[in-house]
Amino acid sequence: MKAHDGMYIDGEWRPAAGTDAIAVVNPADEQVIAHVPAGTADDVDAAVRAARGALPAWAATPPAERAARITALRDVLVARKDEIAETVTAELGSPLKLSQAVHVGAPIAVAGSYAELAASYAFEEKVGNSTVHLEPVGVVGAITPWNYPLHQIVAKVAPALAAGCTVVLKPAEDTPLTAQLFAEAVHEAGVPAGVFNLVTGLGPVAGQALAGHDGVDLVSFTGSTAVGRQIGATAGAAVKRVALELGGKSANVILPSADLAKAVNVGVANVMSNSGQTCSAWTRMLVHDSQYDEAVALAAEAAAKYGERIGPVVNAKQQQRVRSYIEKGVAEGARLVAGGPEAPRDQGYFVSPTVFADVTPEMTIAQEEIFGPVLSILRYEDESDALRIANGTVYGLAGAVWAGEATEAVAFARRLDTGQVDINGGRFNPLAPFGGYKQSGVGRELGSHGLSEYLQTKSLQF
């Protein structure tokens, strides 16, 4: 794999301030495929200065011109889609088909949506005797995880650019090559120097320096709750805006009137896709007592089919973490009906598609985010019981409800404490706001709601 040995700052690839490097590993075969520089506080500082320097001109650039640059960026991503898919597969391990359809397809759709929004959004509104201007918040520090390497970047950078903000990105250490390709695409799209900057590096070094930098006006973070809490506290102390997307433990509620086989099959696919490394995955399936045994049998059968198709998890640490959760599930009395803690292959960080039955709401595997291909099936007695279980975690990111009629599912969905619900298998919508209730986070991404996170208001009275 081709890798840059510098940082993308102020429109060019510059040598890193230090000499430390990060080895990029292919999780499917454990081979080192490239090295990228591990940035320090000095690299972050240079990038933030470049972003500050570029801010006034970019903020003053007419929205139609910002839209044209985002359109060009989308077009470069389209033109280079095969190369990007191969890179995601090499550093994340996802099967190539998944990389093409989801890891590249979704961010192209999101970039396209922000090209349109930048051109059509009302950056000025009248309220009585006032004119309200929606102005960019300023310099954005974006910190992204590895699970959807390009999507997580585009979901922050595209709306930031549309709003007129400038950006410093610190991508996950496991997937820096996709981030470097994105920087190349930004360059090729003719985005002015300094508007977008990339510093690869480790979270506690480069990430922390970015989150705490005085020159950053908004920190947008996606990742673990532990790091999110710390970033939120740092931002709060500095009276700085912050957006946090911290994962979930979403419920897939199958009401008795639903098409059970469809609901179970789609539910299993949702959890196993991307090896379970999806923050919005429906990792808890809730089934009525009368259909429980049938649902468990269907889920076990569906999961077994994923054995050959599923990719590895991202690294050895995540593999170990997921396997410990599976062991904990067994120890706490849940019943394994598919998969288990043993690694299915000698090489690569693979985890068997795993399904637990007889999971009770208080078990660790029903409460904590596992981030691996592990599904828990819980039993409910009636609707109020289902609602209590579905809402009974600290998270509230996503979910699903299935019923014979959409109206019945909608009535249930309205009582869920969660930011997004798919009704009878609804499709991904790149314009729908995405983000959490409760400890799943603060703020929303995607669509016009995602754009407004990067704007602040100025009211002029007449």
Is residue 222 a contact residue for ligand NAP (CB under 6 A)? yes
12-15 vs 6-9, strand pairing mode: antiparallel
Is residue 369 a contact residue for ligand NAP (CB under 6 A)? yes
Total residues interacting with ligand NAP, rule: CB under 6 A: 29
Q: Of 27, 141, 223, 435, which lies in the binding site for ligand NAP, with binding defined by CB under 6 A?
A: 223
Query: Which residue in 279, 408, 445, 453 is the catalytic one?
Result: 279
455-461 vs 139-143, strand pairing mode: unpaired
Contact letters (x/-) for ligand NAP, 264-283, by CB under 6 A? Answer: ---------------x----
Is residue 422 a contact residue for ligand NAP (CB under 6 A)? no
Task: Give long-range contacts, CB 8 A cutoff, 24+ apart: 181-185.
Answer: 181/80, 181/83, 181/84, 181/87, 181/150, 182/150, 182/153, 182/154, 182/157, 183/4, 183/8, 185/73, 185/76, 185/77, 185/80
Classify the C-alpha dihedral 32-37-38-44 as positive or negative.
negative
Is residue 419 a contact residue for ligand NAP (CB under 6 A)? no
Part in contact with ligand NAP (CB under 6 A); list of ranges 64-72, 75-83, 102-110, 198-206:
198-206
Part in contact with ligand NAP (CB under 6 A); list of ranges 3-11, 172-180, 357-365, 402-410:
172-180
Q: Of 183, 246, 251, 387, which lies in the binding site for ligand NAP, with binding defined by CB under 6 A?
A: 246
Q: Which residue is nearest to ligand NAP (CB)?
A: 203
Part in contact with ligand NAP (CB under 6 A); list of ranges 100-108, 165-173, 257-265, 448-456:
165-173
Is residue 348 a contact residue for ligand NAP (CB under 6 A)? no
Part in contact with ligand NAP (CB under 6 A); list of ranges 168-176, 282-290, 331-339, 404-412:
168-176
Q: Is 405 considered catalytic here? A: no
**Residue 84 or 281 having the CB closest to ligand NAP:** 281
Task: Decide if 224 contacts 41 (C-beta within 8 A).
Answer: no
Angle, CA of 153, 157 and 160, to the nearest 5°: 150
Alpha-carbon 27 to chain mean position: 19
For residue 9 the two structure tokens come to 């700052």
* Adjacent-strand bridge partners of 14: 7
374-380 vs 354-359, strand pairing mode: parallel
Is residue 371 a contact residue for ligand NAP (CB under 6 A)? yes
Is residue 91 a contact residue for ligand NAP (CB under 6 A)? no
Task: Decide if 196 contacts 169 (C-beta within 8 A).
Answer: yes
Q: Is 135 considered catalytic here? A: no
**Residue 146 or 402 having the CB closest to ligand NAP:** 146
Q: Of 43, 245, 422, 445, which lies in the binding site for ligand NAP, with binding defined by CB under 6 A?
A: 245
Q: How far apart are CA 452 and CA 162, in angstroms?
A: 10
**Least distance (Å) between residue 129 CB and ligand NAP:** 43
Part in contact with ligand NAP (CB under 6 A); list of ranges 23-31, 85-93, 171-179, 304-312:
171-179
Contact letters (x/-) for ligand NAP, 307-336, by CB under 6 A? Answer: -----------x--x---------------
**Least distance (Å) between residue 251 CB and ligand NAP:** 17
**Least distance (Å) between residue 230 CB and ligand NAP:** 6
**Residue 246 or 365 having the CB closest to ligand NAP:** 246
Query: Which residue in 91, 165, 173, 245 is the catalytic one?
Result: 245
Q: How far apart are CA 308 and CA 353, in angstroms?
A: 10
Sheet harboring 251-254: ordered strands across? 335-338, 354-359, 374-380, 284-288, 251-254, 399-402, 422-423
Q: How far apart are CA 37 and CA 54, in angstroms?
A: 24
Part in contact with ligand NAP (CB under 6 A); list of ranges 122-130, 141-149, 377-385, 426-434:
141-149
Q: Of 167, 172, 198, 409, which lies in the binding site for ligand NAP, with binding defined by CB under 6 A?
A: 172
**Where does this chain bind ligand NAP (CB under 6 A)?**
143-147, 170, 172-174, 202-204, 207-208, 211, 222-224, 227, 230-231, 245-247, 279, 318, 321, 369, 371
Known catalytic residues? 245, 279
